[in-house]
Every structure is written in structure tokens, then in C-alpha cells.
Amino acid sequence: MFCLARQIRQAADFGMNTGARLAGVAPPALPAVDDPSFSDAKHRVEAALGFVKSLTPEKINGAEDKTIAWTACTRDLKLKGADYLQQFALPNFYFFVTTAYDILRHRGVPVGKRDFLGPVSWL
């Protein structure tokens, strides 16, 4: 299992790369290293969120039928946008977020389900 810093990096990078691939734009260039401090990890997450929030519906609409091509390890992969999002990107994103959450809980950080879910109006 990756360490906490790598789980955070992977989650942030998946968020940025998914949006970038669907929109057909380049994501921000962040260092491909695990962030050495919580401050650095927070900066990475904030940069990822800022980038994802900058993607307008006009940039994403229609991507469900677009072929998304990328390289994972040494394999060249291709999926239609909807399949890429549902079968590859979101499962990986949630895997890394959940694993980071689990590591924090295991280490005694007082986070709970509401921290994972974020602000929801129906709870």
C-alpha cells in the first residue's frame, strides 16, 4: 500500500487528470513526488480543486463519446469518455481518497463519515 502522502497525491492527480482528459486540456504541472508535509499536500489538493472547478460544462459536454487515450504503467489504453469516467477514473479516485481516509483514521486522526462525505444538505 502507498503511504499517506502518495494516496493524497494519487487522488489529487486523478481528479486533475480526469477533468483534463475529458476537457481535452493540459492539467497543471505539479511535481511527481509525494508531498513532504501536510502543508504541501494541502497545496496540491487546493491546486487540483481549483483546476477542476475551472473546467466549465462547455469544456466537458460531449466527452462521453470522445475517445480518451492514456498510458497506465506501460500500457496504452483507450476508452470512450463515459466508460473512462465510470470504469477507470472514479473508481481509482475513490480508492485513493478512501485509503488516505483509512490511514488517517488508523493513525488516530478524528475524522468520520461526514468528513468523507463533505457538506451534504440532506444529513
Task: Reduce the DSSP state of residue 70 to 3 states and report it.
Answer: strand
Could you tell me the CATH superfamily of domain 4-113? dinb family like domain (1.20.120.450)
| pTM score of the predicted model | 0.89
Question: What are the residues whose beta carbons fall under 8 Å from the beta carbon of 91, sequence distance 6 or more?
Answer: none
Mean pLDDT of 28-36: 90
CA pseudo-torsion sign 45, 60, 28, 4: positive
Mean pLDDT of 104-115: 92
pLDDT digits (tens, 9 = 90+) for 51-91: 999 999 999 999 999 999 999 889 999 999 999 999 999 99
Mean pLDDT of 23-40: 92
Q: Quote the CA–CA distance of 68 and 47 in Å, as a whole number.
A: 23
Residue 123 has pLDDT above 70, yes or no: no
The full set of domain ranges for the chain reads: 4-113
